[in-house]
Structure 1
Amino acid sequence: MKKHITLALCAILLIGACKKEENILKDPENPLIPIQENNSPVNGTRVVKNSIVYTQIDQELAYNKFITIDADNNGKNDFYFTTVLVGKDNLSHLFFQASPVSTSGAKLMLNNSQELVIGMWGKAIDAGTQINATTAFNTIWSNFMIKGMLLDIIENPAQTKTYDGPWLAKIDKYLAMQIIIGGKVHYGWIHLSHIANEAKMRIVSFAYNDVANEPIAAGQTQ
């Protein structure tokens, strides 16, 4: 009797573990890091003016920190931001990266002119740049399969640091995004900033056009 009870309990625990695993997404390049689709996103101030939905979050991204964004506030995350430490040629690279959540259908605009150790550089665009289906030269709309790198902090064996990346010492650049609402594409932007020689970035705000397939200007809030 005790043997049967023990076996039954093990079966229940195994089924529960399987169901729990179904709700956890895995970063395909870092399979040991669980990415929860409905992990609590950062809270922010959300304002809707005309067709533009704008949210200010002002979050600090630094080593070993994980930030998720639910752009359309539907209870499911669209993007996540984190750091990845990579060693190459006797140097350590701390990459700050952005990626769509795999099940969201979201995309980011990347610069495909140079492949990195992992992923590609995110495309840093100026305020006022129109964001739509058309991509600029050497850019692509990319899903979760290719990570968007924002900043690279490079350290040599003497612990001397150098910095690289499209957001290096930039406080007014934007990352173009696409999100899916009701099966339709909505264009938007994410405002990211970096102060020279700091080992951290800020995710300042984001916005999207609530009208499907209509463009939005980087930095537009109304």
Structure 2
Amino acid sequence: MDRAPVGARADGRLPPLGGARLSAVAGGGVSGTTGRPLVVALTGGAGAGKSAAAAVLHDLGVPVLDTDEVSRELTRAGSPVLAEIATALGPWALRPDGTLDRAAVRRRILADAAARRRLEAILHPRIRERVERWITACRAPYCVVVVPLLVEAGWTDLADRVLVVDAPEALQRERLRRRGLSDPEIGAMLRAQADRATRLAAADDV
């Protein structure tokens, strides 16, 4: 993820945003005195609407980094990280073409907490390192990092503000069904995440 921040101009400056837009992104303030952009962590439960919210911010010209995309890059076919995952979880984690079998891995880690911890021990430090490098390279006054498991991973220290995208559980379940997940899978996924109250308690903005 060493490319220029998404949405930034070639000179590293953002298109001008009105005060209302800036307030919606960063609570009305920009921390530019240290040279580090103000970092907004965008999080929310599965199916809450994080991707849609991130897309709106990107369209406004805000640099956005999605940690799910970082994870996909790290686990591309032939990568050392993918080989480490296959060693930790077993050869079943790979498809015949050598790519990660994401559906199989999701099912396993939802049913096996030890497998989930092994996977997170491989991925989380590497994702965090990529995110911190991206933030350091960002030349905009503020940026957004989408971290679905921000609260669960204990990464709230990564950001100056935490923006939670919230939705009723019934709506989350409906959206996840549209993605092809079964009700047992959805239930296991929601149980594995921080509950709604815990996530909202970590929020600066909702």
| Bigger proportion of residues as strand | 1
Larger radius of gyration: 1
User: What is the TM-score when the length of structure 1 is the normalising length?
Assistant: 0.27
